Amino acid sequence: MEEKKIICCRCNKELKPEKTYFSYLGHSYHADIMRCPDCGEVYIPEELVKGRMFEVETMLEDK
Ligand SMILES: [Zn+2]
């Protein structure tokens, strides 16, 4: 599994993945979002918005 390190631009600390609850296109999701342990700043990568979200939506519809 490939892991990219993302550094908080404010604190210079490595962001950690954290289960985060959020809504997208009228649906609510739990997902691992990179979050700064210091200031709580979150980073949502473009691929999550474009790719993973679609997978999550498909999974929900399959149930
Ligand atoms: Zn920070």
- 23 CA to centre of ligand 1 in angstroms: 23
Nearest to 60 by CA among 32, 26, 34: 26
Structure-block tokens of residue 48: 């999550």
pLDDT one digit per residue (tens) for the chain, 63 residues: 566 788 998 999 999 988 877 777 788 878 788 899 999 888 876 766 666 655 666 666 766
Residue 10 is predicted with a pLDDT of: 92
- 15 CA to centre of ligand 1 in angstroms: 8
| pTM value > 0.75 | no
Residue 20 is predicted with a pLDDT of: 79
Residue 24 is predicted with a pLDDT of: 73
- 20 CA to centre of ligand 1 in angstroms: 16
Domain regions of the chain by residue span = 16-62
Segment (H or E) for 21:
strand 16-24
Give the distance from CA 46 to its chain's centroid.
10
Give residue-wise pLDDT tens across range 23-39.
777 888 787 888 999 99
